[in-house]
């Protein structure tokens, strides 16, 4: 089957690899109907995250169950399923509390830029859709597997509530998804920090009421000005740099919430600032599994189109082109068709 290997920074190849097989009785094998390239895949592609061995990359997927292990009871061959990029048992105390991305048994789902994948802990990880969706629905459903689920967590961790003024830091696919999440969760004013024209357009389509092209201290000054000096009720940080987190913290009002989902890279948390501003801070990898049933329902109900973040469609074999386009910011997110 066709899969994708990152050999070294910048060296990504589509290759014919061995078909995945059941290893544990809790595994399932999925034939992917669609997969994609994640902003976080660019960290190793750019050589910022180092790695020692060729990497079967990709962690986002939707598809049809081909085979299940003997211990799997809740999904069966032929079903269309979505799963998180983190496999979870969905029964441990952390899962039951809604933090499946902190599952006692958590395992990554690997090698998803491929025609078929092995998903561990299938019962706890995969959620079947109500039916086999049309091709038109695939982008919306695929987005739930990571970016939309992550944007949702960013908004939830930030405590977005009806009537809020919410700031979203970062205009990548996750930041844009956080805008959509804030809209769905009832934020009244959504200020997107974005300096790219195409992303600004999508941010507004997703519900942003204001776009601030400035960054850092200038962005903070603009947000302060727009909120009468008070700051935002909730801030979703979707980048993961020191500047973006500082910006997020400084945009929040006294006692406001900051949700951070950008994997932190060289970030020094300013505790004195947290102390002074009483900000509620929560971050981490999103418990996507927790949100999948709700997000699938919203997608099936229509009027919820997180798949709009995909602005480049490619055959899986052309995966390298997807990485290049995203690396050069020619595309927000590349959708890959096996």
Q: Which residues would be at the binding site for a second copy (CB under 8 A)?
A: 93-94, 97-99, 101-102, 104, 157, 228-230, 245, 253-255, 260, 263-264, 267-269, 271-272, 274-285, 287
The Cα 23–Cα 305 span in angstroms is 35
Backbone dihedral region for residue 309 (phi beyond 0: left; psi -120 to 50: alpha; all else: beta): alpha
SS3 238: coil
Nearer to a second copy, 138 or 249 (CB): 249
Nearer to a second copy, 62 or 245 (CB): 245
Q: Please, are residues 110 and 172 in contact by the beta-carbon 8 Å criterion?
A: no
We find the least distance from the C-beta atom of residue 272 to a second copy, in angstroms, to be 6
We find the least distance from the C-beta atom of residue 24 to a second copy, in angstroms, to be 22
The label of the residue with tokens 């418990």 reads 287
How many of the other CB atoms lie within 10 Å of CB of 308? Answer: 18
SS3 317: helix
We find the least distance from the C-beta atom of residue 267 to a second copy, in angstroms, to be 5
Nearer to a second copy, 272 or 301 (CB): 272
We find the least distance from the C-beta atom of residue 41 to a second copy, in angstroms, to be 18
Nearer to a second copy, 18 or 229 (CB): 229
We find the least distance from the C-beta atom of residue 6 to a second copy, in angstroms, to be 23
Backbone dihedral region for residue 207 (phi beyond 0: left; psi -120 to 50: alpha; all else: beta): left
The Cα 37–Cα 278 span in angstroms is 37
Nearer to a second copy, 280 or 305 (CB): 280
We find the least distance from the C-beta atom of residue 274 to a second copy, in angstroms, to be 6
Nearer to a second copy, 61 or 153 (CB): 153
Report how far Cα 147 is from the mean position of its chain's Cα atoms.
Answer: 2
SS3 267: coil
């Amino acid at each position: 089957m066709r899969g994708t290997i990152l050999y070294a920074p910048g060296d990504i190849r589509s290759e014919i690899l061995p078909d995945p097989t059941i290893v544990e009785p809790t595994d399932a094998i999925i034939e992917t109907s669609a997969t994609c390239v994640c902003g976080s895949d660019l960290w190793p592609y750019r050589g910022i995250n180092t790695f020692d061995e060729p990497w079967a990359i990709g962690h986002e997927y939707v598809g049809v169950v081909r085979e299940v292990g003997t211990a799997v009871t809740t999904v069966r061959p032929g079903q269309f399923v979505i799963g998180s990029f983190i496999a979870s048992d969905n029964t441990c105390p952390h899962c039951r509390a809604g933090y499946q991305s902190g599952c006692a048994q958590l395992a990554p789902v690997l090698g998803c830029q491929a025609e078929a994948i092995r998903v561990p802990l299938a019962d706890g990880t995969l959620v079947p859709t109500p039916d086999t969706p049309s091709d038109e629905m695939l982008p919306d459903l695929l987005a739930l597997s990571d970016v939309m689920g992550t944007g949702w967590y960013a908004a939830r961790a930030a405590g977005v509530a009806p009537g809020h003024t919410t700031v979203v830091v970062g205009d990548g696919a996750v930041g844009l998804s956080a805008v959509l999440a804030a809209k769905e969760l009832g934020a009244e004013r959504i200020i997107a920090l974005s300096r790219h024209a195409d992303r600004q357009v999508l941010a507004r389509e997703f519900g942003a009421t204001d776009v601030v092209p400035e960054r850092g201290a200038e962005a903070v000054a603009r947000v302060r000005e727009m909120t009468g000096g008070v700051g935002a009720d909730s801030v979703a940080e979707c980048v993961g740099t020191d500047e973006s987190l500082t910006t997020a913290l400084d945009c929040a009002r006294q006692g406001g919430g900051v949700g951070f989902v950008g994997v932190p890279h060289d970030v020094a948390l300013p505790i004195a600032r947290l102390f002074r501003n009483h900000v509620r801070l929560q971050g981490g990898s999103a418990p996507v599994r927790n949100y999948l049933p709700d997000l699938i329902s919203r997608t099936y109900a229509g009027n919820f189109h997180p798949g709009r973040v995909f602005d480049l469609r490619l055959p899986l074999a052309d995966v390298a082109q997807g990485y290049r386009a995203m690396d050069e910011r020619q595309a927000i997110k590349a959708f890959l068709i096996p």
